[in-house]
């Protein structure tokens, strides 16, 4: 089986299990499935300048998600704090659907994606000149368009069935709420690129670990803001 098809199958199976048990973590995972599916389609259609690199990033990105989930399920102390926070929040009945999705997006984009980008680009540093960075950033930015094109589907298939209030907001605002969400994610992903480049500039593992710890603290603060909606 193609590795990405295996990832999509695992996402769907896990989301189905969570939905059957009433576990609201399925909200983010349904969203993530749709975005991964659309990114994979764009890769197959040749929309990325370097499809092989984009596919590798997609797979590494998903590996971070499932590794954190496996650690959390084992109650492993090595579970990333940002994911422990997001997974534990699924048991809070006061949170609405959008908060659950945003907590997952925050942990996965603002934390995992920085590390995944670093992992993919660090081995290339000896040969990755300015043009190479521009190529990678171009493909990174293309994902913003794919996300924007997926937001309506996320709203209709994932959020609206689980949030009557959000459906009312959609009626009142038209599609402005999807635009706001898309712009927020685009802004986050711009910050993520800068964070990954900053990590690549670190001279030694100690500096990179300090950067990761600061990143983790910032992502946890974003999550607290989401929880305070």
Instruction: Give the whole-angstrom CA distance, residue 141 versus residue 186.
Output: 8
Question: Which residues of the chain have a pLDDT value below 70?
Answer: 1, 163-179
Instruction: Give the whole-angstrom CA distance, residue 120 versus residue 100.
Output: 28
pLDDT for the residue 182: 85
Listed residue (43, 49, 32) closest to 2, CA to CA: 43
For residue 54 the two structure tokens come to 């984009």
pLDDT for the residue 78: 97
Instruction: Give the whole-angstrom CA distance, residue 117 versus residue 98.
Output: 26
- Concatenated DSSP letters of 98-136: HHHHHHHHIIIIIIIIHHHHHHHHGGGTTT--HHHHHHH
Residue 193 in contact with residue 144, Cβ under 8 Å? no
Alpha-helix residue ranges (DSSP H) falling in the chain: 3-21, 26-44, 51-73, 81-89, 97-105, 114-121, 130-154, 164-173, 176-201, 205-227
Residue whose token pair is 């009557």? 164
pLDDT for the residue 183: 87
Instruction: Give the whole-angstrom CA distance, residue 108 versus residue 25.
Output: 13
- CB atoms inside a 10 Å sphere around CB 100: 25
pLDDT for the residue 120: 97
pLDDT for the residue 171: 40
**What does pTM read for this prediction?**
0.93
């Amino acid at each position: 089986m193609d590795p990405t098809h295996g990832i999509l199958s695992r996402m769907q199976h896990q989301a189905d299990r969570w939905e059957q048990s009433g576990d609201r973590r399925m909200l983010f995972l349904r969203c993530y499935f749709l975005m991964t599916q659309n990114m994979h389609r764009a890769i197959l259609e040749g929309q990325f300048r370097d499809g092989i690199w984009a596919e590798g990033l997609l797979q590494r990105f998903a590996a971070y998600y499932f590794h954190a989930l496996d650690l959390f399920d084992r109650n492993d102390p090595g579970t990333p704090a940002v994911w422990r926070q997001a997974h534990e929040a699924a048991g809070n009945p006061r949170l609405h659907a959008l908060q659950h999705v945003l907590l997952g997006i925050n942990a996965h984009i603002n934390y995992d994606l920085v590390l995944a980008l670093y992992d993919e680009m660090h081995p290339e540093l000896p040969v990755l000149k300015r043009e190479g960075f521009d190529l990678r950033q171009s493909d990174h930015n293309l994902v913003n368009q794919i996300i924007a094109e997926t937001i309506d589907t996320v709203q209709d298939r994932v959020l609206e069935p689980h949030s009557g209030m959000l459906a009312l907001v959609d009626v009142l605002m038209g599609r402005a709420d999807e635009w706001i969400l898309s712009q927020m994610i685009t802004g986050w992903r711009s910050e993520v690129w800068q964070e990954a480049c900053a990590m690549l500039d670190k001279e030694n593992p100690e500096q990179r670990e300090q950067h990761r710890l600061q990143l983790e603290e910032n992502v946890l603060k974003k999550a607290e803001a989401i929880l305070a909606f």
